[in-house]
Amino acid sequence: MESPADTADDEASVFRALADPTRRQILEDLRGGELAAGEIASRFSISAPSISRHLGVLKGARLVTERRDANRILYSLAEERLAMCVGRFLSAVCPEQIVLRHSKWRAAPEGNAR
């Protein structure tokens, strides 16, 4: 089942995940299809454990999903979630500039934490 938390501090975890350039690059790399953790790590000059941590952050923000394939763990991109979370914010701030293809999210609630 889908996790219920989808509008509130969700945005926070997504934008924090996107704050790091390595993580953004991982997402771009996953655009081509699922990749094993090691394959991802080999594209960067930082250690595998560090990449593993980045993948953990992305997974925590639910921007990627993982599945086990024998020895390896394959990661894939949660495109729609990324587009929804970021798109929701973008259309709250500059709705004139952007248009979402799938507009099936709920409008962002007015109550903001401050």
Q: Enumerate binding residues for a second copy (CB under 8 A).
A: 11-12, 15-16, 18-19, 21, 24-25, 27-28, 31, 43-45, 77, 79-80, 82-84, 86-87, 89-90, 92-94, 96-102, 112-114
Phi, psi at residue 48, to the nearest 5°? Answer: -60, -45
H or E segment and range at residue 64: strand 64-69
* 34 lies in the binding site for DNA (CB under 7 A): no
Confirm if 74 and 93 have CB atoms less than 8 A apart. Answer: no
What, of a second copy, DNA, none, does residue 100 touch, CB below 5 to 8 Å by kind?
Answer: a second copy
* Given 31, 68, 101, 114, the residue binding DNA (CB under 7 A): 68
Quick one: which of 99, 89, 75 has its CA closest to 14?
Answer: 89
| Helices 48-60, 10-18: crossing angle, 10 deg rounding | 150
What, of a second copy, DNA, none, does residue 50 touch, CB below 5 to 8 Å by kind?
Answer: DNA
Taking residues 38 to 67 in sequence order and writing x for each that binds DNA by CB under 7 A, - otherwise, the string is xx-x---xxxxxxxxxxxxx--------x-
